[in-house]
Structure 1
Amino acid sequence: MEEYGFSGIVISLQFKNNIIREYITCSIDSGDGRFSSLCTIVYALNQMTSRRILWRDLLTFKYNVNGSWIIGGDFNAITSYDEKIGGVPVSDADIEDFQSFITISQLLHIRSIGCYFTWNNKQDVETRIWSRLDRCLVNEDWIHLYTTSQVEYLLPSCSDNSPALLIIEDDDDIEGKGLFKFFNMWVKHPDFISTVKSIWEQNIEGYKMYSFHSKLKKLKHALKELNKKHFMNINEQVLRSKDDLADIQRLLSEDLFNLGLIVREKECIKKYDRLLDCESSYKQKANISWSLERDKGSKFFYSIMKKKRHLNRILTLYTESGTRISDRSGIITKIVDYYKKLLGNSVSTT
């Protein structure tokens, strides 16, 4: 174990002797205690057999990780055909093998900007190869702790690979309101109609469009309260409802024509079906297709939702002249100036 410290960051490196590995892991902790994570740097070999050993080792390591973890570097593999131009075509087996590793490990790509192709062989036009070999993957704990993070792949300069700049913003410092999204599950709740009616029947003075806009704003807050009151921790509600139904059916199996148990079974089935419908609405929220039903409602599932919810945040901006802006005030000023220039200035109508 060796430790290095700089700029308030402490890095602990763990080395294993007499073993040739394609990755190295370190622990990174900030001096102010606001950041702490395991970080694994990968440099995969060219042979698929060697990479399979690497995938296996990383999976074994992942199952022993408690806390946030980021893994990045040159994986020497791609996830789709559009991640390579030139050279010998990549085989289906290579792509499927890497995709399978990412799926099984339940690691997520963090948002990336900058150079799409992170590697090239620096050769002439006829033999030039471009490929996206570098990437950063994170576990669900990273998503929950450091949602507002991204990796920027910079210009490669003299290297074959683009350097990766990891940017992590503090969620507490992010200003602005989240987008409002309507969920179909609300419509099936018995309080939905009365909630909408109570808002829509209010008398609001002013122009029709002002009245319409005001009611929509009030309805948004009312529906958020409805969601908070009845649909929070939906996965736990589904599990409890399933257990309640199983308990009733066990009792009913010993008393087949018990009227009270039959009525309670119907009520439990109705509640369980309703909660399952609500849970499936989170699929709508995540906007993702799930191949495995066991993922629905899991911690990994909610990590996907949180990751997608923050994709619209801008952490880095380049001006027309190529100047890089990363401070929040500068980004806001540049965006406002752009739209002022685009939309023009207000003029007097008198």
Structure 2
Amino acid sequence: MNISTWNVRGLNDPIKVVEIKKFLASNNISVVALLETKVQEKNSSKIQKKIGVGWQWIMNYEHSPRGRIWIGWKHALVSVQLIQKTEFCVHCHVATKNGLFDTIFSAVYGLHSVDTRRPMWREIITFSSTVNCPWLVMGDFNAVLLAADRVNGNAVTEGETKDFDSCMDTAGLAELKSCGIYYSWSNKGQGNLRICSRIDRAIANALWHSKFVDAVVDYLPPGISDHSPLVMSYNIQLGGGSRPFKFFNYMADHVLFLDVVKKGWDVSCPRGGSMFKVWTKLKAVKQGLKELHHKDFAKLDERIEGLRADLGQIQIQLASCPTDSNVQQSERECSETLKKFLYIQESAYRQKARI
């Protein structure tokens, strides 16, 4: 199941329509939110037909005459039901026809100043109080969240980040795991005039994170836009049952291990017998350890291969400039991280061999 959002910065150019169509096909997108289309409502159906007859669409022209948010979906595979739409957000219920994926999805487009974005934060917080199921929020927030989210340009200030941070905290939202390009937007400037920032994001509530633990968001190259498309991928397992829980000894060395165990064991269970209470506490500990493992140890072999490749590239770079202290530091850090994960992998192999 792949859900995407992309600020395309206008869809009136036929070349962009062709690129969008290829993007949707090559990335196997089932649901997409196209932002800032700049298409008049009278021309929207003509452009949507060019994207493909297999798509159905929801738009927010009632609140934004420039067609700021279009949500499209492959109706043969997915059903989408509108919940609410405003100038800033379109909220809908998304479910696959086979019943294996079900969530609330909100596509977001933030305006360009701190003051004009505040109604959007209030709307997200208000909507969060009505949600009691997995909820995914994706789009162009037009706001940075961290001090490191901008390169060049004005330094990130607390005034820029506090509204976003407060909204996520109040609404119970947290960012999804991501890969690919870090900065999702650039002004396309040359040399030191290029400003890059991370203003496109995918965030979700606790129910989403606990249910779709393997979901990841890929920040792809921007192509014909100045924004990167975001692709949330979740592999729907057609086989039966989830993987059994296995405890690996190396987890006991994690700095958060004891805290996770204590938090799980402290779960209250007012009803049931003693054995049921023990079972409930063990289940809570297991869930905490699974989340810890997924966060810091998942796909261990892939991580190691990635670190090997990174270290090789750094050392090639170091060969051409052996006195560069920054590259030397990068080599040291990458090498230490690789060794750490190699020791973890060896510990896992040793434990499996005993079993």
TM range, normalised to the smaller chain? 0.5 to 0.7
- Deviation at 1:233? 6.3
- Deviation at 1:314? 3.6
* Corresponding residue to 1:235 among 267, 287, 305: 267
- Deviation at 1:51? 1.4
Whether 2:141 is the aligned partner of 1:75: answer yes
Contact 1:146-1:169 within 8 A present in 2 as well: no
Counterpart CA distance in 2 for 1:161 and 1:174 is 37
Paired residue for 2:294?
A: 310
Counterpart CA distance in 1 for 2:213 and 2:145 is 23
SS in 2 for 1:104: helix
SS in 1 for 2:217: strand
Whether 2:92 is the aligned partner of 1:92: answer no
Whether 2:129 is the aligned partner of 1:145: answer no
Counterpart CA distance in 2 for 1:35 and 1:149 is 12
Question: Alignment RMSD, CA only?
Answer: 3.9
Contact 2:185-2:197 within 8 A present in 1 as well: yes
Counterpart CA distance in 2 for 1:88 and 1:128 is 12
- Deviation at 1:120? 0.7
- The superposition leaves residues 263-314 of structure 1 with CA deviations (integer Å, 9 ceiling, x where unpaired) of xxxxxxxxxxxx9xx99xx9xx89xxxxxxxxxxxxxxx7x87644312334
- Deviation at 1:84? 0.3
Contact 2:245-2:290 within 8 A present in 1 as well: no
Paired residue for 2:194?
A: 128
- Structure index of larger Rg: 1
Structure 1 unaligned residues grouped into runs of 5+: 187-226, 241-274, 287-301, 321-338, 344-350
Counterpart code for 1:149: A
Counterpart code for 1:26: C
Counterpart CA distance in 1 for 2:232 and 2:129 is 24
Counterpart code for 2:216: Q
Counterpart code for 1:94: E
1:12-51 alignment, distance < 5 Å:
12-14=81-83, 16=85, 21-51=87-117
SS in 2 for 1:310: helix
Summarize the Cα distance change of 1:148–1:178 in structure 2 as closer, same or farther, 3 Å threshold. Answer: farther
Counterpart CA distance in 1 for 2:119 and 2:233 is 30
Contact 1:148-1:313 within 8 A present in 2 as well: no
- The superposition leaves residues 126-158 of structure 1 with CA deviations (integer Å, 9 ceiling, x where unpaired) of 321100111111111112211111101111112
- Deviation at 1:47? 1.3
Structure 2 unaligned residues grouped into runs of 5+: 1-56, 59-71, 272-277, 310-341, 347-355
Counterpart CA distance in 2 for 1:68 and 1:100 is 20
Summarize the Cα distance change of 1:42–1:231 in structure 2 as closer, same or farther, 3 Å threshold. Answer: closer
- Deviation at 1:178? 4.6
Paired residue for 2:233?
A: 167
TM-score, normalization: structure 1? Answer: 0.53
SS in 1 for 2:267: helix
Contact 2:124-2:167 within 8 A present in 1 as well: no
Task: Point out the more displaced range, 72-81 or 176-185.
Answer: 176-185
Paired residue for 1:58?
A: 124
Paired residue for 2:75?
A: 6
SS in 1 for 2:163: helix
Counterpart code for 2:266: I
Counterpart CA distance in 2 for 1:184 and 1:80 is 29
Contact 1:153-1:163 within 8 A present in 2 as well: yes
SS in 2 for 1:52: helix
Counterpart CA distance in 1 for 2:168 and 2:263 is 31
- Deviation at 1:91? 2.2
- Deviation at 1:102? 1.4
Counterpart code for 2:117: R
Summarize the Cα distance change of 1:49–1:88 in structure 2 as closer, same or farther, 3 Å threshold. Answer: same
TM-score, normalization: structure 2? Answer: 0.53
Paired residue for 1:266?
A: none
Contact 1:143-1:306 within 8 A present in 2 as well: no
- For these two proteins, the number of residue pairs brought into alignment is 220
The structure whose RCO (Cα within 8 Å, separation 6+) is larger is: 2
Counterpart CA distance in 1 for 2:116 and 2:299 is 38
